[in-house]
Chain A
């Protein structure tokens, strides 16, 4: 059965799926849907995913979206995937689901920012990462022509840091990978690709945020080596995006002067 992966390497869940496929020698076709060009909003892509988001897959005539669901599906259907990626044991599997669900409302809370006030959220849910919050106000706001709000960026950074610390204290205990495992699961891949999105920010910002989180830094390195050379290769896109982003940022700063 033919597998098509619709994705944009600039999107963190897209990268997780590409790396998973490559690390597990899946035969697939990568179809780039450029978010920057609005290609996810075309009627053709709505046929693939009515939610108009990447990633999405078509396997034979089976269509699926939502990256965690896709990772689980691929781990269960690609031949020869090692058990550690998505363990058959019900309890081990439950823990992987738990991390992935946590990821939705914490590390990946971006969409929530749209609808609940920052203050309200900060008070209600005691920790979240707002990685999206930080990046939005430092980098993407410039690209999409919106004024970046330094105060919001600082707040986002604080919450991001708190969440990284939480991953360290909760999930990275007792082994190199999440849940104290000796080998990575799909949850490692999903969360690691989220954290690496920070590399789009400028080097100083990235280094400042990551510095206190030595466990996270080591974990990312371990995920990288466990999936080498694919992790580095798939992430090349976000690194090459840095320079043009820097230029845009400088231009925007110039304009606002």
Chain B
């Protein structure tokens, strides 16, 4: 019985699941569902998940979607996964659920909204929307502030004051990594004030090395491409007035 993970490494929850599997030595097959080619909308993929979204998994005959539910399932059903990823202790577990639920309507909402409306929209056939981007940025900045002042306030390096990462660290850090795609100065403006968050991102990266960087390489490649496009755009803008 093998585990199949349907994912696109451009999607942050997809990356969290792939990294989790690799770090924990889970044997799995990765099937790429290319979002840019709209492969999530095919009838074949609908057989896997009616929601037409990645990630999704099939384990034997068992199908599951929603990334947090998948992370919990993997942590519970594969042998030898260290307790810190999803602790058996009910109180610790409850706190992890609380972070993950909070993530849905705060960090995810802010970060995904910002990246989409400031940068990624055109690649998905949507217009850029500066007004919506500004609103998302507000939620995103407030969320980063809460992570810093509340979730990272303990003595440990990870969320909830833990000394080792949980599935919540992985899920939230992969979300923040999506900001690599936006313009350097925008990213600096948003992340710059949150030194503790940046340190935690680096700690999570180190704790899951080398898989974290490997799985993020696709994202970083797109980042480079967007950067050079922006550079070209700026040059042509500078040239334009003299032509006029």
Tell me the A residues contacting B by CB distance below 8 Å. 50-51, 62, 64-70, 72-73, 76-77, 90-91, 93-95, 97-98, 100-102, 104-105, 108, 111-112, 114-117, 120, 123-124, 126, 170
Taking the complex as formed, is B191 at the interface, i.e. its CB lies under 8 A from any CB of chain A? no
Contact of B94 among A72, A108, A120 (CB under 8 A): A72
Closest beta carbon of chain A to B90's beta carbon, Å: 5
Contact of B136 among A72, A97, A115 (CB under 8 A): A115
Contact with A along B42-82 (1 / 0, CB 8 A): 00000000111000000000101111111011001100000
Q: Is the CB of B102 within 8 A of A66?
A: yes
Of chain A, the residue at the smallest CB distance from B103 is: A104
Of chain B, the residue at the smallest CB distance from A65 is: B98
Question: 3 tightest A-B contacts by CB?
Answer: A97-B69, A69-B97, A101-B66
Taking the complex as formed, is B124 at the interface, i.e. its CB lies under 8 A from any CB of chain A? yes
Of chain B, the residue at the smallest CB distance from A73 is: B94
Q: A76-B90, A95-B64 are in contact. Are A117 and B131 (CB under 8 A)?
A: yes
Q: Is the CB of A91 within 8 A of B94?
A: no
Query: Which residues in window 108-123 of B have CB below 8 A to A?
Result: 109-110, 113, 116-117, 121
Q: Is the CB of B131 within 8 A of A68?
A: no
- How far is A115 from B106 in the complex, measured between Cα atoms in Å? 10
Q: List 19 A-B contacts (CB under 8 A).
A: A66-B101, A66-B102, A69-B95, A91-B73, A95-B64, A97-B68, A97-B73, A104-B105, A111-B105, A111-B106, A112-B109, A114-B139, A116-B113, A116-B132, A117-B129, A120-B127, A120-B132, A124-B124, A124-B126
Closest beta carbon of chain B to A29's beta carbon, Å: 19
Q: Is the CB of A112 within 8 A of B117?
A: no
Q: Is the CB of B150 within 8 A of A115?
A: no
Given A73-B97, A101-B69, A117-B129, 17 more A-B residue pairs with CB atoms under 8 Å apart are A51-B150, A66-B101, A68-B97, A77-B90, A91-B77, A93-B72, A94-B72, A98-B64, A98-B65, A111-B109, A115-B110, A115-B138, A116-B132, A116-B136, A120-B127, A123-B125, A123-B126
Q: Is the CB of B73 within 8 A of A94?
A: yes
- Point out the residues of chain B lying under 8 angstroms from A111, CB to CB: 105-106, 109, 139
Q: Is the CB of B69 within 8 A of A98?
A: yes
Taking the complex as formed, is B225 at the interface, i.e. its CB lies under 8 A from any CB of chain A? no
Q: Is the CB of A120 within 8 A of B95?
A: no
Taking the complex as formed, is B221 at the interface, i.e. its CB lies under 8 A from any CB of chain A? no
Q: A91-B62, A116-B113 are in contact. Are A101 and B94 (CB under 8 A)?
A: no
- Point out the residues of chain A lying under 8 angstroms from B116, CB to CB: 116, 120, 124
- How far is A102 from B64 in the complex, measured between Cα atoms in Å? 12
Closest beta carbon of chain B to A2's beta carbon, Å: 16
Q: Is the CB of B150 within 8 A of A50?
A: yes
Q: Is the CB of A102 within 8 A of B129?
A: no
Q: Is the CB of B132 within 8 A of A72?
A: no
Q: Is the CB of A62 within 8 A of B68?
A: no
Q: Is the CB of A66 within 8 A of B90?
A: no
- Point out the residues of chain B lying under 8 angstroms from A115, CB to CB: 109-110, 113, 132, 135-136, 138-139
Q: Is the CB of A120 within 8 A of B109?
A: no
Closest beta carbon of chain A to B206's beta carbon, Å: 28
Taking the complex as formed, is B199 at the interface, i.e. its CB lies under 8 A from any CB of chain A? no
- How far is A72 from B95 in the complex, measured between Cα atoms in Å? 11
Closest beta carbon of chain B to A210's beta carbon, Å: 23
- How far is A126 from B104 in the complex, measured between Cα atoms in Å? 17
- Point out the residues of chain B lying under 8 angstroms from A104, CB to CB: 101, 104-105
- Point out the residues of chain A lying under 8 angstroms from B132, CB to CB: 115-117, 120
Contact of A120 among B76, B90, B93, B117 (CB under 8 A): B117
Q: Is the CB of B126 within 8 A of A126?
A: no
- How far is A108 from B69 in the complex, measured between Cα atoms in Å? 17
- How far is A239 from B82 in the complex, measured between Cα atoms in Å? 49
- How far is A97 from B132 in the complex, measured between Cα atoms in Å? 30
Closest beta carbon of chain B to A16's beta carbon, Å: 13
- Point out the residues of chain B lying under 8 angstroms from A95, CB to CB: 64, 69
Taking the complex as formed, is B187 at the interface, i.e. its CB lies under 8 A from any CB of chain A? no
- How far is A69 from B168 in the complex, measured between Cα atoms in Å? 13
- Point out the residues of chain B lying under 8 angstroms from A105, CB to CB: 104
- How far is A230 from B67 in the complex, measured between Cα atoms in Å? 33
Closest beta carbon of chain B to A196's beta carbon, Å: 20
- How far is A62 from B93 in the complex, measured between Cα atoms in Å? 12
- Point out the residues of chain A lying under 8 angstroms from B69, CB to CB: 94-95, 97-98, 100-101
